[in-house]
């Protein structure tokens, strides 16, 4: 007998069902981060602030970009080595597309591989001096699927307090006990390992090679000591350190001179210095084979498009052939950091490698500052809650080997001029609407 879901069941039942449906359908809107973001957008609109998100670019965004026909200095994309749209990469993509098309067609497990897949994986394994590598179609899914698949309820994951969202989501998916230690605090990590490691079958420490919001580097040699002392595995996410750290861009391993096998899983995305999309895990052959046959983000997802694999392989080739690009990136970032500090700007914990935040604290100030700079031909995005903790909003500058010192001076001079104005706008609004804010807090 079929259930009767029509309104013939009676007006009261229909009304109750509608209310229940509305409550269920709109329940996500009550999440704290969603409510907070909505308040920011609403407040910004009242203050005349346009939404800065989802700006459409007319061409490849490099040191400069084109938006609605106007050229802007660009600090919001991570073409670290200045090779996105490089003629050699474009040629490699064109050749690959003419042979393999634009899609892998299916999961590589069932639909088979294409030569560009294995060429890229072998190149990355060689780069890290490990046995093998697996390339996923998504960088975020690389971390989520790898951690979610490898670890379970009897295990423990110890991750840095500022670990990327993909690392946190993967840890949650695994069902393992999750311990978040204070950012870059190895003493805090060791204390956690002392008290918690013995409660679990297996454990992994998770950190980044270069932290994406703050531009600072972990004490990886110390973390490796702790890994060995407390019998843990170690995953290092090199999304922002590959192509950035070391004399030749080989990442945090080259920066510290670390033995490759001291890290169990070398992870990176391929969308930054490698000018593509996706991610990879490099490590032992046993690990990679296990992931290829079981990791959901690999087994149940279409394979990386061969054209993307070809692009990444060519980008890696250019990086290794032209280390001067890495040197230029490091030089221009140091110049940015020093010039910003000379202007009295707060650059947080940045160490001068590709990423430099200018800390402003208040999310609305960050929004107004970004908007003011956009009017002056400078494109840099605000980073606010929930991407960072409340009260730590910032403008995050991505540097490129293609940036010049005059770009930096022009930009930071404008930041120093516009920041007090943005602060004044927000302070004035807050004074004038103090009563409304107190009412909202009570409700």
Contact 193, 158 (CB under 8 A): yes
Q: How far apart are the first and last CA of the chain?
A: 47
Alpha-carbon span 63 to 80, nearest angstrom = 10
Q: Which of 140, 146, 148 is nearest to 278 (CA)?
A: 140
Alpha-carbon span 320 to 315, nearest angstrom = 9
Q: Which of 138, 170, 136, 133 is nearest to 155 (CA)?
A: 170
Concerning whether 271 is annotated as a catalytic residue, the answer is: no
Contact 278, 285 (CB under 8 A): no
Question: Are β-strands 355-361 and 64-67 bridged in parallel, bridged antiparallel, or unpaired?
Answer: unpaired
Lookup result for tokens 């192509």 = 243
Alpha-carbon span 247 to 326, nearest angstrom = 7
Grouping H, G, I as helix, E, B as strand and the rest as coil, residue 127 is helix
Contact 270, 139 (CB under 8 A): yes
Concerning whether 314 is annotated as a catalytic residue, the answer is: no
Sign of the Cα pseudo-torsion (75, 76, 78, 79, in order): negative
Concerning whether 400 is annotated as a catalytic residue, the answer is: no
Selected catalytic residue, list 159, 164, 272, 403? 272
By the 10 Å C-beta count (0-12 exposed, 13-18 middle, 19+ buried), 436 is classed as exposed
- DSSP for 288-319? HHHHHHH-HHHHTSPPPPHHHHHHHHHHHHHH
Contact 204, 174 (CB under 8 A): no
Alpha-carbon span 323 to 68, nearest angstrom = 35
Selected catalytic residue, list 140, 240, 328, 403? 240
Selected catalytic residue, list 166, 171, 212, 370? 212
Alpha-carbon span 365 to 360, nearest angstrom = 7
| Dihedral-angle region of residue 8 (phi above 0 means left; psi in -120 to 50 means alpha; beta otherwise) | alpha
List the 355-361 sheet strands across, edge first.
355-361, 393-398, 382-383
- DSSP for 40-57? HHHHHHHTTPPP-TTPPP
Catalytically active residues, by annotation: 212, 240, 272
């Amino acid at each position: 007998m079929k259930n009767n879901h029509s309104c013939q069941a009676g007006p009261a039942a229909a009304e109750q069902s509608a209310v229940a449906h509305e409550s269920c359908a709109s329940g996500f809107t009550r999440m704290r981060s969603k409510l907070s973001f909505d308040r920011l957008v609403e407040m910004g609109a009242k203050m005349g602030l346009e939404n800065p998100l989802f700006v459409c670019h007319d061409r490849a965004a490099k040191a400069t970009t084109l938006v609605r026909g106007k050229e802007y200095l660009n600090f919001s994309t991570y073409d670290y080595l200045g090779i996105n749209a490089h003629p050699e990469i474009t040629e490699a993509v064109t050749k690959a597309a003419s042979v393999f098309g634009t899609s892998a067609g299916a999961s590589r497990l069932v639909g088979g591989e294409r030569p560009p897949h294995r060429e890229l994986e072998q190149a990355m394994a060689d780069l890290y001096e490990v046995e093998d590598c697996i390339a996923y179609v998504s960088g975020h899914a690389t971390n989520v699927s790898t951690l979610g698949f490898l670890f379970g309820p009897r295990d423990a994951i110890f991750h840095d307090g500022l670990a990327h969202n993909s690392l946190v989501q993967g840890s949650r998916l695994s069902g393992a006990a999750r311990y978040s230690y204070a950012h870059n605090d190895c003493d805090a990590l060791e204390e956690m390992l002392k008290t918690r490691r013995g409660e679990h079958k297996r454990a992994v420490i998770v950190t980044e090679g270069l932290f994406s919001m703050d531009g600072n580097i972990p004490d990886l040699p110390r973390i490796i000591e702790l890994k060995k002392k407390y019998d843990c595995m170690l995953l290092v996410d090199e999304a922002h350190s590959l192509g950035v750290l070391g004399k030749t861009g080989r990442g945090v391993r080259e920066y510290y001179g670390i033995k490759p096998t001291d890290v169990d899983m070398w992870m990176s995305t391929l969308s930054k210095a490698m000018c593509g999309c996706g991610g990879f895990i490099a490590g032992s052959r046993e690990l990679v084979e296990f992931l290829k046959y079981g990791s959901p983000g690999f087994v149940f997802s279409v394979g990386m498009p061969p054209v993307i694999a070809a692009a990444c392989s060519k980008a890696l080739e250019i990086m290794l052939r032209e280390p001067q690009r890495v040197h230029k990136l490091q030089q221009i970032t140091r110049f940015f950091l020093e010039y910003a500090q000379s202007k009295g700007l707060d650059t947080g914990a940045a160490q001068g490698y590709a990423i430099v935040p200018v800390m402003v604290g208040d999310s609305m100030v960050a929004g107004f500052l970004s908007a003011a700079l956009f009017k002056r031909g400078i494109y840099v995005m605000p980073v606010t809650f929930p991407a960072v903790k409340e009260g730590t909003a910032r403008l995050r500058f991505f540097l490129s080997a293609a940036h010049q010192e005059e770009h930096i001076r022009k930009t930071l001079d404008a930041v120093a001029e516009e920041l007090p104005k943005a602060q004044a706008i927000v302070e004035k609004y807050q004074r004038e609407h103090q009563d409304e804010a107190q009412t909202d807090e009570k409700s």
